[in-house]
A = this chain, B = another copy of it.
Amino acid sequence: MAVKTKTKEKVIDAAVSLFNTKGFDGTSVREIAKKAKVNVANISYYFDGKEGLLESLVTMFFEGYIKEIEKAFQFLDTHSPKECLMLLVRNVLMYQHEHRHIARFVYREISLDTILIREVMTTYLTKEKFYIKTILERGMKERQFRKVQPPFIIVQLKGMLMMPYLHPQYMTEVLHLFAHEPYFVDHYRKEVESWISYTICGENDSSNKVILQLKS
């Protein structure tokens, strides 16, 4: 199989790379074919056209994405909501890091009004919302989380998680943060975890200190 579908994979790699930097509409199938060193006709042959190639890539990305979310969600039964949420963040960040080229253009693309994107939203993003919302509600019920409105928390969370992978160039050239380097994931994860601890759980350093003072 690996031998047979060499062409298909070459097309995918080239497409991801080009869509990443030039956007879907800004990339021509001829460019893709040239970069992949295959014949143009193969794109229609294997993916049923440029649109089909896009759909393939987007679906591929979100299938993996939602699987990571679900892996984290399963911990809700055995772990605390906070731990579960942090695991989710960890998984998403790692998945995005590993697929950062495709992530960039997918996140860009889902800001458009197309049929494909609407389908993605009802298929994957609605699921994702459900998982995060459930974690948040459990956390609130167990008094581990402050009283929050899940949708508003989800906006912030997703904004924070996407940002480095949607605008890597901004990260590098303006902020001098290298989102593509492995240690960035670790560092940034801690940042988001801080946000979880402070803003969602309502913890802080001073409270610890105060508690210590109280004890003394």
Contact = CB atoms under 8 A, between A and B. Distances in A.
Nearest to A154: B175
Given A198-B199, A210-B211, A163 B152 contact: no
Specify the main secondary structure of chain A where it touches its partner: helix
Q: How many copies does the complex hold?
A: 4
Interface string A120-137: 011001100100000000
Given A111-B108, A202-B206, A211-B210, A177 B155 contact: yes
A32 to B, nearest CB: 15
Interface centre among A21, A111, A177 (most CB of B within 10 A): A111
Given A26-B25, A171-B155, A174-B125, A205 B202 contact: yes
A121 B169 contact: yes
A105 to B, nearest CB: 8
Contacts of A125: 170, 174
Nearest to A161: B159
Interface of A: 21-26, 104, 107-108, 110-113, 117-118, 121-122, 125-126, 129, 146, 151-156, 158-164, 166-167, 169-171, 173-177, 187-188, 191-192, 194-195, 198-199, 202-207, 210-211, 213-214
